[in-house]
Structure 1
Amino acid sequence: MDSADSAGGTVPARVDPARADPPWRSSGTRLPPGDFGVVLATLRARRGWSVRELARRANVSDGQICNLESGLRNPTPAVAAACDAAFGAGGELAELAAPRRRGVPAEEVVEAGPVVAGYERVLRELKDIGRSTGPRFVTASLKSIIRILTDAGPLAVGAERAEIWRLVSTFAEYAGWMAQEAGNPAEALRWTNTAVRWGARGGDETVAAYALVRKAFIAQHRGDSGAAIGFAGQAAAHPAADPVIRAQAARRAAQAHARRGDAEACREALARFGSHTAEVVGGRAPHWGPRVENGNPRLIEASCMLSLCRFELAADLFAAELGAADLSAAERGLLPAVPADSNSQARFAVRRATALAGVGRLDDACQIIEATLPVIRRIDSATVRAELGGFVAQARTRGAGPGRLALIDASAAFAFG
């Protein structure tokens, strides 16, 4: 979730997944791409249903749903029709199963290649949902798919088996992010360690290096800057670390040094972040973590200045970068990227408000918080709530009037409640 964070923005009003129009109708397409199992998993993820919930609605067993979504079994006509009815797909989902039934006996085991490609698309969709709506709408789907893939892994052979374990490792790593966002750092660490184990089964050692970056972030939000710096150093020195992972480690180190009040060490870490980022610009997308070259180094610097209590400099940097929202598309294209997902937007908006409160511009700060609170409540992110707590602590030192005090109290109730 912590892509490089972002500013401003809103999230569409939440809709009850069970009452929403079928996803393919609202998106202007029919069914999402993929074979029957992948489409079934995608639709279930979009609805926020667990395997058990879909099985209940289709009146089939949990195991049947798992086998269908993993591609290990083909649907019978009756099961395909039942799943179609559960989603109100009007026969389209059942028809998707028909071509496979013509040439392949029902319940035959299929090869794992399409499973990997399909679930990579599902993971991208789940990440998009998680960035905009928070962990509660994706966690059940993540756990269900992890169960499906871990069941499928031992049944594949050769390179396909390794592919499945690498894929399930990425699901476990993202489940760790969502556990952290839900306010459960212990579960986040458990999923992170599991991702390392499963990645090793697939021959991917880079996940072990990236896991140290994740542990640095978890320690940072736990308030243990010393541990965060230690984990970031281990990540940068890990034999499997690539420039992307080293850049992410330097970023975590910079933010941890800033929270410690060590401006010189923070500056050196920011320089390393810039140097490693320059190594990967134009390269292929990293296997782990966000594209660091899409991060905005000045926003990261602004966040560090905020932690160092250099409020005026932080406010100026935030204003310069976040003002890009008022520019034309062509002008924005000349600036470093500002991630657009709602979680990051809320995080940076709160940081900007905290900096403004720090320089005595409490009215401006409260206007930002007032506009952002609905988004913060909707995504219900533990990391964003922690940022909101920082705003409350700063704002309460500024002698707010009754109207602003009510907003600060409401912010505190959500941040610490």
Structure 2
Amino acid sequence: MRLDLGWKQSKVVAALLAAARREGVTIAGQASLKTMLSRWENGTGKPDVVYRQLFCTVYERDEDELGFTEAGRGNPRVAPSVDRETIDYFRSVFDQHVRADNLMGPHHLVDVVRAQAALIDDILPGAKNDVRNDLLLWACRYNEFAGWLYQDAGDPKSAMHYSDRAMDYAMAIGDPTETAYLLMRKSNIANDLGGFDRAVGLGSAALREARHVSPRVRALVLAQQARAYSLRGLGDDARRAIDAATHELERPGADADDLASYCTPAYIEMQAASCWADLDAPDRAIPVFRRALATMPTGMRRDQGLCETRLALAHAVAGDKATACRVGHHAVRTVRTATSARALSELRRLRDRLAPWRRDEEVSELSLAIKQLTTA
């Protein structure tokens, strides 16, 4: 189609980027997109559903005309066999993606994870019996992870889309813990969008069958509800939710859950500190953030940057501009190495909090550094 139109690859890349901006979706950058386009045109791999829709828009043709469907291809594609090694592959790659996310942030991963989620969609029809059940689980996990990456990259619309897709798989699996975890994730996205009442409602739905849900996932749900309460200024409700989340982690066998293994007492304490910061109680938040930074494992750069930013913000709320600036500069350097939309949002809040001292040199320098990073 490109050759029929007489277009160069650079024109197609520019058109795809423009169409993605209009549709409000995140795709690869210009250099990566040119490589992907060459691969697709040479028959190596195929675009996922997002790129297929963009190609249809750019070329003004339907999927049949562009050869994306079986009807549009001369030879039907043979689905790959799906066996236990296939499941092991997706499990091991997923673990590496989680590690890379902590090291570098979401922007380098989102296209890869989305493509692998689409690949699982394609091969599911060929999976049988117990292998199919395991593949359904990884379809759920990959789509949920894609939703998380989009959320952390600042695209809540796409985040909710992939979380909804993951929910479809969770319902097919029929595991209450998986379903509750997805409702927790949707609650988290709702908080980011300012839908605090919706976040609380999704949490209540997640806990409807609480006795069938693992303690760690119950704790995560309660922590999200606490954040929604704190963002609405409801301190007593937030405190009760955090206390309940802490209690869940004290239950026997709570540490046996691999789905929410990151939900530890330290994690819940961090969520509590964020609530205290929202409620303008920095004296309660600061020591928690400091402890978290002192014990945070190496390789957690994204979380480190977010924690440093929230610590700086807490110091600013407390009126300690010197410490806020010192920690804030460190946060900017960390966030630059593993950019996260959440951290960037907190840095903007820090800049606003420091605005009354904007004539001070140290505040002015930090404000400029934040502006340069958040508008890059």
Q: Same fold (TM over 0.5)?
A: yes
- Residue of 230, 237, 251 corresponding to 1:265: 237
Equivalent residue, structure 1, for 2:314? 355
Instruction: Give how far 1:237 is off.
Output: 2.0
Q: Matched residue of 1:137: which SS?
A: coil
Equivalent residue, structure 2, for 1:133? 104
Instruction: Give how far 1:139 is off.
Output: 1.5
Instruction: Give how far 1:346 is off.
Output: 0.7
Task: Determine if contact 1:255/1:304 at 8 Å carries over to the other structure.
Answer: yes
Equivalent residue, structure 1, for 2:360? 401
Equivalent residue, structure 2, for 1:245? 217
Task: Determine if contact 2:216/2:254 at 8 Å carries over to the other structure.
Answer: no
Task: Determine if contact 2:270/2:292 at 8 Å carries over to the other structure.
Answer: yes
Equivalent residue, structure 2, for 1:256? 228
CA deviation profile, 1:354-409 (whole Å, cap 9, x unmatched): 11112222111111121221321232211111111221121113455034213113
Alignment of 1:325-344 (within 5 A): 341-344=300-303
Cα distance, 1:322–1:148 mapped onto 2, change above 3 Å: closer
Query: In terms of mean alpha carbon deviation, does 268-277 or 240-249 score higher?
Result: 240-249
Task: Determine if contact 2:82/2:123 at 8 Å carries over to the other structure.
Answer: no
Q: Matched residue of 2:274: which SS?
A: helix
CA distance in 2, matches of 1:299, 1:65: 39
CA deviation profile, 1:305-334 (whole Å, cap 9, x unmatched): 111101223223333554457xxxxxxxxx
Q: TM-score of the superposition, structure 2-length normalised? A: 0.75
Task: Determine if contact 2:306/2:331 at 8 Å carries over to the other structure.
Answer: no
Q: Percent identity?
A: 21
Q: Do residues 61 (structure 1) and 36 (structure 2) align? A: no
Cα distance, 1:339–1:271 mapped onto 2, change above 3 Å: farther
Equivalent residue, structure 2, for 1:187? 158
CA distance in 1, matches of 2:314, 2:202: 28
Q: Do residues 219 (structure 1) and 201 (structure 2) align? A: no
Cα distance, 1:381–1:233 mapped onto 2, change above 3 Å: same
Task: Determine if contact 2:227/2:275 at 8 Å carries over to the other structure.
Answer: yes
Cα distance, 1:147–1:313 mapped onto 2, change above 3 Å: closer
Task: Determine if contact 1:225/1:260 at 8 Å carries over to the other structure.
Answer: yes
Instruction: Give how far 1:136 is off.
Output: 1.9
Question: Which runs of no fewer than 5 residues in structure 2 stay unpaired?
Answer: 1-30, 49-77
Equivalent residue, structure 2, for 1:391? 350
Q: Matched residue of 2:225: which SS?
A: helix
CA distance in 1, matches of 2:242, 2:79: 54
CA deviation profile, 1:239-258 (whole Å, cap 9, x unmatched): 65332221001111112211
Cα distance, 1:397–1:342 mapped onto 2, change above 3 Å: same
CA distance in 1, matches of 2:131, 2:32: 26
Task: Determine if contact 1:166/1:201 at 8 Å carries over to the other structure.
Answer: no
CA distance in 1, matches of 2:234, 2:174: 39
Equivalent residue, structure 1, for 2:54? none
Task: Determine if contact 1:244/1:286 at 8 Å carries over to the other structure.
Answer: no
Equivalent residue, structure 2, for 1:155? 126
Q: Do residues 122 (structure 1) and 122 (structure 2) align? A: no
CA distance in 2, matches of 1:221, 1:165: 28
Question: Which runs of no fewer than 5 residues in structure 1 stay unpaired?
Answer: 1-48, 67-106, 326-337
Structure 2 counterpart of 1:260, one-letter code: R
Task: Determine if contact 2:186/2:202 at 8 Å carries over to the other structure.
Answer: yes
Equivalent residue, structure 2, for 1:170? 141
Task: Determine if contact 1:235/1:245 at 8 Å carries over to the other structure.
Answer: no
What CA RMSD, in Å, does the superposition of the two structures yield over aligned residues? Answer: 3.0
Cα distance, 1:140–1:276 mapped onto 2, change above 3 Å: same
CA deviation profile, 1:92-123 (whole Å, cap 9, x unmatched): xxxxxxxxxxxxxxx99544211011110100
Task: Determine if contact 2:332/2:369 at 8 Å carries over to the other structure.
Answer: no
Instruction: Give how far 1:285 is off.
Output: 3.1
CA distance in 1, matches of 2:188, 2:209: 17
CA deviation profile, 1:187-206 (whole Å, cap 9, x unmatched): 11110110111233344443
Alignment of 1:79-94 (within 5 A): none
CA distance in 1, matches of 2:47, 2:198: 42
Structure 2 counterpart of 1:394, one-letter code: R
Structure 2 counterpart of 1:263, one-letter code: G
Equivalent residue, structure 2, for 1:304? 275
Cα distance, 1:412–1:185 mapped onto 2, change above 3 Å: same
Equivalent residue, structure 1, for 2:323? 364
Structure 2 counterpart of 1:61, one-letter code: G
Equivalent residue, structure 1, for 2:17? none
Q: TM-score of the superposition, structure 1-length normalised? A: 0.68
Query: In terms of mean alpha carbon deviation, does 216-225 or 394-403 score higher?
Result: 394-403
Higher relative contact order (CA 8 A, sep 6+): 1
Cα distance, 1:282–1:314 mapped onto 2, change above 3 Å: closer
Structure 1 counterpart of 2:339, one-letter code: D
Cα distance, 1:213–1:416 mapped onto 2, change above 3 Å: farther
Q: How many residues align?
A: 316
Equivalent residue, structure 1, for 2:67? none
Q: Matched residue of 1:372: which SS?
A: helix
